[in-house]
């Protein structure tokens, strides 16, 4: 059965390019992004791992760990990392999980027979401190992932986990938010002292509450 939002992310242990990893222990009390690749030495994925390495500090600032995974073994990962560093002008600074027996791929439903009966699809999982899955994305092999969008979603998830708001279409960090319908109007002024605008009784906007 495919994993759904709110499910506990399956725990596992595996070898990685940076040594052994126990997934839930590795996440600790922070957030995590797990993203999969069909195999090593693939062109689009080479650019993706380079892109993540270049913005890893943005994940660090948000207390988010990142890990990639493919079904190739660790020695293959090490060779691929050299290519990534060379061609993408970066230094891969996060673990690439080895899954040659496809155990993790099966746990996370990363093998879609309609796409390939052997290779993992290109999935993204964002996992919260409670070890629950907060976001899933699956991309076609021909389209590189947009990691700026993944950062944007993490900003939204971390904001909405701690405040009674949601984020509207195309929201970016710093923009106004939607007050949840579950907040009674008589409590709005107390909960949102920066002010609010009522567009409709069910559509109330307020400045982003976690900014000074």
Q: Are 127 and 154 in contact (CB under 8 A)?
A: no
What are the residue numbers of the active site?
45
Q: Is 127 helix (H, G, I), strand (E, B) or coil?
A: strand
pLDDT band at 141 (very low <50, low <70, confident <90, very high): confident
Domain ranges of the chain: 13-150, 163-206
> CATH number of 163-206: 3.30.1020.10, 1.10.1740.10, 3.90.1150.10, 3.30.479.30?
3.30.1020.10
Task: State yes or no: pLDDT of 165 exceeds 90.
Answer: yes
Query: Which of 70, 71, 108, 111 has the alpha carbon at shortest distance from 92?
Result: 70
The pLDDT tens digits for 82-131 are 999 999 999 999 999 999 998 998 899 887 666 555 566 789 999 999 99
The pLDDT tens digits of the residues spanning 167-186 come to 999 999 999 999 999 999 99
Contact status, residue 157 vs residue 128, Cβ threshold 8 Å:
yes
Q: Rounded to an integer, what distance in angstroms lies between the CA atom of residue 185 and that of residue 188?
A: 5
* Top-tier CATH class for 13-150: alpha beta
Give CA–CA dist 83/87, Å, rounded.
6
Query: Percentage of residues in the chain with pLDDT exceeding 90?
Result: 84
Q: At what angle do helices 74-88 and 43-54 cross, to 10 degrees?
A: 70
């Amino acid at each position: 059965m495919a994993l759904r939002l709110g499910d506990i992310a399956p725990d596992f242990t595996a070898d990685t390019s940076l040594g052994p990893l126990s997934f839930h222990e590795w996440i600790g009390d922070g957030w995590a992004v797990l993203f999969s690749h069909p195999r090593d030495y693939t062109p689009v994925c080479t650019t993706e791992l380079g892109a993540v390495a270049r913005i890893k500090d943005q994940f660090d600032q948000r207390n988010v760990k990142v890990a990639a995974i493919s079904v190739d073994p660790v020695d293959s990962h090490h060779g691929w990392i050299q290519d990534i560093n060379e061609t993408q002008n970066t230094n891969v600074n996060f673990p690439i999980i080895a899954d040659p027996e496809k155990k993790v791929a099966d746990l996370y439903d990363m093998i879609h027979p309609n796409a390939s009966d052997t290779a993992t699809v290109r999935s993204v999982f964002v996992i919260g401190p409670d070890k629950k899955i907060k976001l899933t994305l699956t991309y076609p092999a021909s389209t590189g992932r947009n990691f700026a969008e993944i950062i944007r979603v993490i900003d939204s998830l971390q904001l909405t986990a701690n405040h009674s708001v949601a984020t509207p279409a195309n929201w970016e960090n710093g923009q106004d938010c939607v007050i949840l319908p579950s907040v009674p109007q008589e409590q709005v002024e107390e909960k949102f002292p920066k002010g609010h605008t009522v567009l409709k009784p069910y559509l109330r906007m307020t400045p982003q509450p976690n900014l000074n």
